[in-house]
Amino acid sequence: MSARVPSARLDIRAHTCPVTWVKARIALSRIAEGEVLEVLLRDGEPRENVPRSAEEDGHRVIRLEPAPEEGEGTWRVWLARGAPVEERTWP
């Protein structure tokens, strides 16, 4: 597996569902296939829905992890736009 770094970053912690997925989907449409978008989101519904919706749309979740350095209750998800299946750091 080649090391990847995000080519774009999106902070949607101030938003609620379904706006979280709408913003993530727009950001994904602005990067090239195979590039990675880093998304900062809140625990709970956004953490559950954004990764699921991304996979349903044909994208891949590369990483999903707590990001306490970004603030309490913050999670980080890396989404690869339409990329082949990668090794994941989450189930």
Active-site amino acid positions: 17
In whole angstroms, give the CA distance from residue 67 to residue 82: 24
> What stretch of H or E contains 20?
helix 19-29
